[in-house]
Amino acid sequence: DKIEKSQEAYLLAFEHYVNHRKHNIPHFWPKLLMKVTDLRMIGACHASRFLHMKVECPTELFPPLFLEVFEDQEV
């Protein structure tokens, strides 16, 4: 709940900033939100492919950053 409220506050502040800049680009805010959605889809697709590769090729050497980001974490 706290995270959602914080995210909403940041989102509203960013929207205000974008909409009140000197460069008045029509429909910039909705276009920007669509790009964020596209980036989320790309990120999810990339994560899925990486996990699939990790299962299919367990002996393959992956970059350390990938291994750190996608390592199994216990909750």
Q: Which pLDDT does position 22 carry in this prediction?
A: 64
Q: Which pLDDT does position 9 carry in this prediction?
A: 92
Alpha carbons 51 and 69: distance in angstroms, whole number: 11
For residue 70 the two structure tokens come to 């996608």
Q: How many CB atoms lie within 10 A of CB 50?
A: 15
Q: Which pLDDT does position 72 carry in this prediction?
A: 63
Place of tokens 């090729």: 57
Q: In terms of pTM, does the model score above 0.85?
A: no
Q: Which pLDDT does position 18 carry in this prediction?
A: 81
DSSP SS3 for 38: helix
Average pLDDT of adjacent 10-residue blocks, the chain of 75 residues: 88 84 75 88 88 80 79 57
Alpha carbons 59 and 66: distance in angstroms, whole number: 14
